[in-house]
Amino acid sequence: MTILVFASSLLGAMALGMPIAFALIICGIALMWRIDLFDSQIIAQNVINGADSFPLMAVPFFILAGEIMNKGGLARRIVDVALSFVGHLRGGLGYVAILASCLLASLSGSAVADAAALATLLVPMMVKAGHDKARSAGLVAAGGIIAPVIPPSIGFVIFGVAGGVSISKLFLAGIFPGLMLGAALAVAWWYTCRDEKVTPFARTGFAQRVKAIRDGFWALLLPLIIIFGLRFGVFTPTEAAVVVAVYALIVSMFIYRELKLRDLPKLFVDAALTTAVVMFLVATALVASWLLTVAEITGQIVDLVRPLMEHKTLLMLAIMAIVVIVGTALDMTPTILILTPVLMPIVKAAGIDPVYFGVLFIINNAIGLITPPVGTVLNVVCGVSKISMEDIIKGVWPFMLAQLAVLLLLILFPSLVMVPARWLYG
């Protein structure tokens, strides 16, 4: 009965159109009523405690860094580097989009910011070259969701805090799976555009490639700084967020000189507004999370799935199928905050490595960003590219299937995640 109260109150509040943060509070109140523990002070205290976390300081700095990179010219230079190396191939602009997505993912960690930047720069170029607009927009949207997987990742920060998992290990474990997602997109793009009549860009010479690398050097250096710093313990993920934001600000203002002093107030306000939404979600989620523990719902759920405990692969398949379904209706952050407290006890009881689970969980949630009808990244690319939702759904599905195939591969072969991860974090 307690599980029914939890699910019906949460889903009922959301069905009424209530914002997710308030729906979580309503869910908490319903659970309090069920276990006869209602106290408004408990709600307020848990909301405050939910936001009072040092690792969560990484969130506003990563969001700020993403805003700076898009407005400061770092994103455009990444695209120029990719264009100089693969633009001449058949369907080269698609490979540019994929390569640029992987490089931008290692800078900002925001799927929405990366997809918006690449849609603005590349979709018009791809259409002009002769590519189908829906397919081009779909590829850019699918490439954008690599951002939550390759570090730095806001999704890993939130999951690490909610699940009590090492954020540094999550960051390092996400690198190889993120690159696998990019490789899967390249295969899918090659297959889908093989019959298109397009005009490839002229092959760039060695001197032009050197010029593109030199121009984008400061942007390309940032991923190396992050990986080196995390691998050798120079800074924590939270400190890495500050390093990224300050580095991007210095490069944008004093080296590339595309970001002016007058641009900063609006940039800071935009980052603050986005941060406020994310942090309020995190804060209210702790109310529901605390009550899940008090009401012993996690224990009841563990009992329900106990028959699958001895079969880790089947258990992971079942969990990932649930997350795929939830991802069609919820955005990434609320899905992480709602499901992590429920799923982590199951994962630990089954003996599944929390870092491995976290990587697959975030990949699954990232794919949810391009699944209709909610798909945040899908909606953003629709708006930027001026294309209908119906058309972009047709364009994105081959790439979404390719990424789901990678997820299935990682479920069947956990070593694809853990072997590179253990090599990186020692």
The 10s digit of each residue's pLDDT in 51-100 is 777 777 888 888 888 788 878 888 888 888 888 888 778 888 899 999 98
Kindly list the distances between the CA atom of residue 425 and the CA atoms of 80, 168, 259, 277, in Å, as whole numbers in the listed order.
Answer: 32, 8, 36, 32
Collect all residues with Cβ–Cβ distance below 8 Å to 157 and sequence separation of at least 6: 55, 56, 58, 59, 62, 167, 237, 241
Please, are residues 293 and 31 in contact by the beta-carbon 8 Å criterion? no
Give the three-state DSSP class for 388: coil
pLDDT value for 301: 66
Domain for residue 408, yes or no?
yes
Please, are residues 330 and 20 in contact by the beta-carbon 8 Å criterion? yes
Residue 279 carries which side chain, given as an amino acid letter? M
The token pair at 413 is 């072969």
Domain for residue 15, yes or no?
no
The token pair at 114 is 């990366």
Checking phi first, is residue 236 left (phi over 0); if not, alpha (psi -120 to 50) or beta?
A: beta
| Cα dihedral: 46, 50, 51, 53 (round 10) | 120
Which of 153, 143, 145, 158 has its CA nearest to residue 174? 153
Angle made by CA atoms 21, 25, 152, in degrees to the nearest 5: 40
Domain for residue 29, yes or no?
no
Domain for residue 258, yes or no?
yes
Domain for residue 21, yes or no?
no
Residue pLDDT tens, the chain, 426 long = 666 777 788 778 777 877 777 887 887 788 788 777 777 777 777 777 767 777 778 888 888 887 888 788 888 888 888 888 887 788 888 999 999 899 888 877 778 878 888 888 888 888 888 888 999 999 999 999 999 999 888 899 999 988 899 999 999 999 999 999 999 999 999 999 887 777 777 788 888 889 989 998 998 888 888 888 887 888 888 888 888 889 989 999 999 998 898 999 998 998 888 888 888 887 887 777 777 667 666 666 666 677 777 888 999 998 998 888 888 767 788 888 888 888 888 898 889 999 999 999 999 999 999 987 667 888 888 888 888 888 998 999 999 999 999 999 999 999 999 999 988 876
Please, are residues 198 and 131 in contact by the beta-carbon 8 Å criterion? yes
Can you give the residue range of the structural domain that contains 324? Answer: 54-286+297-425
- How many H helices and E strands in the chain? 22, 0
Please, are residues 68 and 117 in contact by the beta-carbon 8 Å criterion? no
Angle made by CA atoms 25, 30, 31, in degrees to the nearest 5: 95
DSSP state of 234: S
Domain for residue 125, yes or no?
yes
Domain for residue 78, yes or no?
yes
Please, are residues 424 and 329 in contact by the beta-carbon 8 Å criterion? no
Please, are residues 121 and 79 in contact by the beta-carbon 8 Å criterion? yes
List helix spans (H) across 232-375: 237-250, 264-294, 297-304, 312-327, 332-349, 354-368
What is the residue whose two structure tokens read 């899908």?
Answer: 378
Nearest-10 crossing angle of helices 217-231, 74-86 = 100
Bond from prior residue into 334 cis (ω within 30 degrees of 0): no
| 386 phi, psi to nearest 5 deg | 55, 60
CA 387, chain centre distance (Å): 23
The token pair at 410 is 């990682």
Which of 133, 132, 170 has its CA nearest to residue 151? 170
Please, are residues 373 and 152 in contact by the beta-carbon 8 Å criterion? no
Domain for residue 302, yes or no?
yes
Q: How many domains does the chain have?
A: 1
Checking phi first, is residue 386 left (phi over 0); if not, alpha (psi -120 to 50) or beta?
A: left
Taking only the tens place, the pLDDT of each residue in 97-121 is 999 899 888 877 778 878 888 888 8
